[in-house]
Amino acid sequence: MVRTPLTPEERERGERLGRLLREARGARSMADVAASAGISAETLRKIETGRAPTPAFFTVAALSTALGLSMDELIGRCAPPVPDVPGTPDASIAA
């Protein structure tokens, strides 16, 4: 199976996710957070550094739980802003 190359936007979103997770981890060790989430410290390291910019949904969900973040907060801080398009409903209302 050939994987489609990531777009610059996908790479940037992965970098934003990594920064957010690093900030939320604070002084906790990478090993402690990874163990709490049920993943390896190496997987967490790859996500935090942007080397794994598209982690699996359940990995992100486990990390959000381990770090006390809501999925809504992760999406809000990692997803690119939705541009305003005249004549369309507000994106926050449509979602």
Whose CA is closest to 26, among 69, 76, 71, 58? 69
Q: What is the pLDDT of residues 31-42, one digit of tens each?
A: 999 999 999 999
Dihedral sign for Cα 40, 44, 8, 87, please: positive
92 confidence band (pLDDT: 50, 70, 90): low
**% of the chain residues with pLDDT over 90:** 56
What number is the average pLDDT over the span 77-82? 75
Q: Are 56 and 32 in contact (CB under 8 A)?
A: no
CA distance 47 to 51: 6
